[in-house]
Amino acid sequence: MQGLYLVVQPTGSKSWAVRCRQNGRPRKFTLGRYPLYGLTEAREAAAGILRSVFEGRDPARPNSGSIDDVVAQFFDRYARRHYRPKTLTECTRVLNRAVAEWRGRKLDSITRADVRALLDGIEGPAAGNQAYKFTKRFFNWATEQDLLAASPVAGLKKPHKDKSRERVLTDGELRRVWFAADKIGYPFGALVKLLVLTGQRRGEVSGMRRDELQADTWILPGPRVKNGKLHSVPLARQALAIIESQPHISDRYVFSYGTRPLGGFHRAKGALDELVGVTDWTLHDLRRTAASGMARLGVSLVVIEKILNHVSGSLAGIVGVYQRHEFADEKRQALQQWADYVERLVSERAIRIGEARQ
């Protein structure tokens, strides 16, 4: 049989082995010692290994080709290399549920009906759509790697229609959020204020690192932002003052519990809701509120998109290919203009005027 060898060691001991190529790489599998393994047994074992290789399974892993095995490969070869920590956590939760549902089954035995049943068992539109997204990405990856002929998610629609949020806080609500942030203090109070003043995402602000701060500019490296591209955020005078006033608990993070970046947002949001008296808003709405506020102040859409680090809208397609101007001065002016507006809004005089009008 081609690939079957009797290996003789210098000590005189003999063993059977089979050599082959898998995914372009040479592989060697030891079958057993001679004479305990005769020629007939060696041929049978070698045939089984060569059959596994031909079918795309790894003979070194008895579980090869199962949903458990391929999910593990997906995390090793794709997810841990491409997903940011928060996304990786969400993906792990979704695929662990899939593995628990289909444990021990071969990947190619999973049908569209199986996927639909999995998604139907998940409560909540947002959770269901998240599960759909990561399950689809997993099966597409397996197909791209030739581990699967076709994805069972192909042609399967998202379980729930995405509901686009349009919530923008009124000036009165924004003022109450600001004062509530004062009351809850470090670290969430300062974080909320920076969300208001910078318009950046919660994960970006909560993970702010000291080495990202260069004078009066915050430089976020590609791996820290959603589109993977380096992003600079000019810091208004008010934002810089908030950052500089934070206690130096960690040498790495501005907001920290010591060696760990900030977490526990749900509890902090609950405390804010009680103080604000409004619950139908999210921390992400502060980003939309900042964008809307800058638009009201006359800031152009293209500058707002640069501040938000969006790659769609007015900078999409061919325009984005040729438009390389970073609008650094315009971004700085816009963010300072917005911070000045917020400062006036939360001043004592603004409170009296605002309350008189309401």
168-216: pLDDT as tens digits: 999 999 999 999 999 998 889 999 999 999 999 998 999 999 999 999 9
The position carrying tokens 């405390």 is 271
What pLDDT was estimated at residue 53?
79
Higher pLDDT, 225 or 57: 225
What pLDDT was estimated at residue 164?
65
What pLDDT was estimated at residue 318?
41
pLDDT greater than 90 at residue 344: yes
The position carrying tokens 């907001």 is 255
Tokens standing for 354?
A: 């605002």
pLDDT greater than 80 at residue 260: no
pLDDT in tens, 24-76: 788 888 888 888 788 888 898 888 888 877 766 667 665 567 898 899 989 99
The DSSP bridge partners found for residue 209 are 253
Report yes or no: 203 and 154 within 8 Å, Cβ to Cβ. Answer: no
What pLDDT was estimated at residue 256?
83
